[in-house]
Amino acid sequence: MTDKILAVVALCGLIAFLITVPIFVPHIDLILFTLGCVLLAVYDFWNELASRRR
């Protein structure tokens, strides 16, 4: 259970770290790049979480 909590905290930390780029430099390419990074991290998190249930 602790590993899931730490994974969520790490994911939130990554999102908080990456969100500063589009806030301070609001260019569409940087926004799309940041969104892509976050989506890949969420997908990996979800995929790892689902594989442990099996």
- For the entire predicted model, the pTM comes to 0.78
Alpha helices in the chain (DSSP H): 2-18, 20-24, 28-53
**In 10 A of CB 26, how many CB atoms?**
9
pLDDT of residue 23: 94
Distance CA 1, CA 29 (A): 37
User: CB-based contacts of 19: which residues, under 8 Å, 6+ apart?
Assistant: 34
Instruction: Say what the pLDDT of residue 54 is.
Output: 61
Q: What is the mean pLDDT of residues 9-27?
A: 93
Residue whose tokens read 């991290």: 41
